[in-house]
Amino acid sequence: MDLNSILAFPLDVLPFIVLVLLIQFSVHEFAHAYAAYKFGDDTAYREGRVTLNPFVHLDILGFVLILIAGFGWAKPVPVRASRFKNPRAMSIVVSLVGPLSNLLLGIISIIIYVLLIKTGWIFAGSEGVTRALEVFFNYMIYFSFLLFVFNLIPLPPLDGYRIVAELLPWQTRYKLEQNAHWGTIIFLLLVFIPPLRRYTITPVLQFGWDLSHYIFNWFMALF
C-alpha cells in the first residue's frame, strides 16, 4: 500500500508535520490550562495539564485523523468556569489564549526564519540541513496561522464558539447550548464534505495563509 495515497501530507515531510503539530497542540492546550489555573480553577492542574509535555495533551484518534484527513484535535482541557471570580470574562480569556498562543508561535517562527535568511545562517550547513530548516519553518508558520484562524470559527467544539457563547445574553446562550450538538454536526459536515468545505472552511483557512504571508513579507521588508 502506498502511504502517500492515504496521508494528507507527503511522506517525506511527515516527521516535520508530526513535530510541528506536537509543538502547536501542546502550547495551545497549555495556554488554556495555565490561564484557567491562574484564574482560580485547578481542574486542569490536578490532571497534569499545566505542562508543555505534548503527550499529556495528545488525543491519539485526533492526531491520526489530522495526518490522514488533514483535520484533527488535541485532548480538550477541562475548565470549571464557576471557580472563576468573573466567570464570563475569564472564560473568554481562557478560550482566547489558545488561538493567541498559536499566533504568537507563528510570529516568533517568522522572526527566527527571517533572521536566518537575512544573516545567511540558514545556508551555513549542508544542503540537507538547509532544506530541513526550510520545511520545518514553513510548516511551523503555516500551522500556527491555520490553527489561530481555525479555532476562532464560532462553531462547537472550537474556541470561537465558547467566546461567542460567553458574549451572548443568558437566555440566548442557554438556547444555544441546548442545541450545541447540532452545531458540532454542522461543523463536521463542513469539514469532511469537500463541496461544503470548499465554500466555508477553506476560505477561512485561506485567510490564515494570506495573513502569514503578509506578516512574513512585512518582517522581510523590515529587516
Nine cell digits for residue 14: 511527515
- Inter-axis angle of helices 60-68 and 14-38, nearest 10: 140
Contact 149, 205 (CB under 8 A): yes
Question: How many CB atoms lie under 10 A from the CB of residue 132?
Answer: 15
Q: Look up 29 and say whether it is catalytic.
A: yes
Cα–chain-centroid distance for residue 126? 32
Per the listing, cell 493567541 goes with 100
For 127, half-sphere exposure in the C-beta direction (CA atoms, 13 angstrom radius) is 0
3-state class of 7 per DSSP?
coil
Exactly one of 29, 47, 127, 166 is catalytic; which is it?
29
Active site residues: 29
